[in-house]
Structure 1
Amino acid sequence: MPHPLDNPIWNALNTGSQILSFGTDRVRLINQDMGFFAGMPAYEPENLDELYDFLEPGQRVILFPPGHLVLDEKWAVHNDHELLQMVCERDFSQIEPNSQIHHLNESHIPEMLALTQLTKPGPFLSKTIDFGDYFGFFSNGKLVSMAGSRLSPSPFTEVSAVCTHPDFAGQGISRKVMPFILQRIQQRGKTPFLHLYPDNTPALRLYSSLGFVSRAMLRVYLLEKVG
């Protein structure tokens, strides 16, 4: 039986994140003010054609297929990269409180947008916060690090938007923030997982130290509809 994380976007948009998506039994997309994700049960030409028909010219989508896609000239490829998938095996029911770490809400969106635009952990839009919970580390009243939850292919929830302002890099702040989102995911009865480029050694070291283990290698594509 296929594992839910073998096709994480499709399974998320049909289970835990379904309310945030739209589409058919062959293609589903996330609401465009939240992100660029699109999924399909199999990455076959007819499903890619249906996805193409959903999009406006110039619109972009992110796919996480299990391997290379065969694409024709109607798609512009802006990213095609290996993607390491990791799953957390550590219990975070007990963590140390930290007065500098706070649950983020809509009032923090301008700071969250500024931080993610600077650090580029992945697409973060005005409504991305609607995916789930986000926690942030503040220094002198300024948001300098954050982490949150995103896709939810039940019974898993993805950790995302892990980033720290470069002026505060190397201080172990992400390692302080992440247990808060990991605890929240586990409190909701889900298992945390995440994705990263396999050559991102600092991130791999951080996630491994927090109990994440490698599960699979996927690919990430950023495609744009041409014409």
Structure 2
Amino acid sequence: MAELIEQLKNPVWYSLNETHKRFLVEYDGVRFYDQEVCTFGSFFDASKTEKAASQYIKTTDSFFFVSENQIPIIDETKIVLERKIDGCQMVLNKLPEVSITDDIVLLTNEYIDEVYDLIWLVMPGYYRRRTFEMGNYYGIFKDGKLVSITGQRMQTNLFVEVSAVVTHPDYTKRGLAKQLIAHTTKQILKDNKKPILHTNKGNLAIPLYQKLGYELTRDMNWWMYRKI
């Protein structure tokens, strides 16, 4: 098994090698998630991405290659780069004490549609219903509805990614996301794994993550491609 530091350099690859192996779709050494679950791809050898991407794009309209510093190669007659997200990886150093004042619920399958609708309201475009299968999701309810969530996405035997940090616009600035991130982080630590997260550079949430003990560690770029 690869060491943690190596896994964090290519989190999609190692997630599909371990915990998420059941979601693996592979073309000549380039790894993708089943597009019904997540549209992330990963590689070590960029020379293989052209053919692999041309195969994978037959199953979906768009996808991401996730890479620390390598540039994928694509067939520009079939695929276009829609945009590149300059992202960063954050890794927990030490979680401070956080007061949990709201009831946090482990979300079961009965809440899949509510999770999907809330994420698409706040961050439309990427989340799929079966993304829910990638890890545990936690939520806070107000006035009888789900208003704030966090989830777990990429993961191996050594790390788990905190993701889907979303709060309904009518319920922001109440500390809900802070509580949920802290709770999700604690659950990961209970499993003796390293909590990590990814975000785009300049995200206004980065100071919050830093207050919760997460440190910026490396670039992690997201190349979004679309079928022509």
TM-score (norm 2): 0.88
CA offsets 1:72-130 (integer angstroms, 9 cap, x no match): 423212220211100012247x8655552101111111111111011107722111111
Aligned pairs for 1:1-227 (under 5 A) are: 3-24=6-27, 26-42=29-45, 44-56=46-58, 59-67=61-69, 68-73=71-76, 74-91=78-95, 98-120=101-123, 123-200=126-203, 202-226=204-228
Q: How many residues align?
A: 223
**1:5 & 1:121 partners in 2: Cα distance?**
26
**1:115 & 1:177 partners in 2: Cα distance?**
15
**1:157 & 1:48 partners in 2: Cα distance?**
29
Q: Is contact 1:52-1:225 (8 Å) kept?
A: no
What's the offset of the Cα at 1:45? 2.8
3-state SS of paired residue (1:159): strand
What's the offset of the Cα at 1:51? 2.8
3-state SS of paired residue (1:222): strand
Amino acid at match of 1:208: Q
3-state SS of paired residue (2:19): coil
CA shift in 2, pair 1:198/1:122, >3 Å: farther
**1:108 & 1:58 partners in 2: Cα distance?**
25
CA shift in 2, pair 1:122/1:14, >3 Å: farther
The answer for unaligned runs of 5 or more in structure 2 is none
Amino acid at match of 1:85: Q
**1:111 & 1:137 partners in 2: Cα distance?**
12
Q: Is contact 1:121-1:163 (8 Å) kept?
A: no
TM-score (norm 1): 0.89
Q: Is contact 2:62-2:225 (8 Å) kept?
A: yes
- 4+ runs deviating over 3 angstroms: 68-72, 94-99
What's the offset of the Cα at 1:20? 2.2
What's the offset of the Cα at 1:160? 0.5
**1:122 & 1:160 partners in 2: Cα distance?**
15
**1:172 & 1:54 partners in 2: Cα distance?**
40
**1:18 & 1:121 partners in 2: Cα distance?**
27
Higher relative contact order (CA 8 A, sep 6+): 1
**2:124 & 2:11 partners in 1: Cα distance?**
18
**1:45 & 1:177 partners in 2: Cα distance?**
41
3-state SS of paired residue (2:114): helix
CA shift in 2, pair 1:39/1:196, >3 Å: same
Q: Is contact 1:11-1:154 (8 Å) kept?
A: no
Same amino acid, percent of matched pairs: 27
The answer for unaligned runs of 5 or more in structure 1 is none
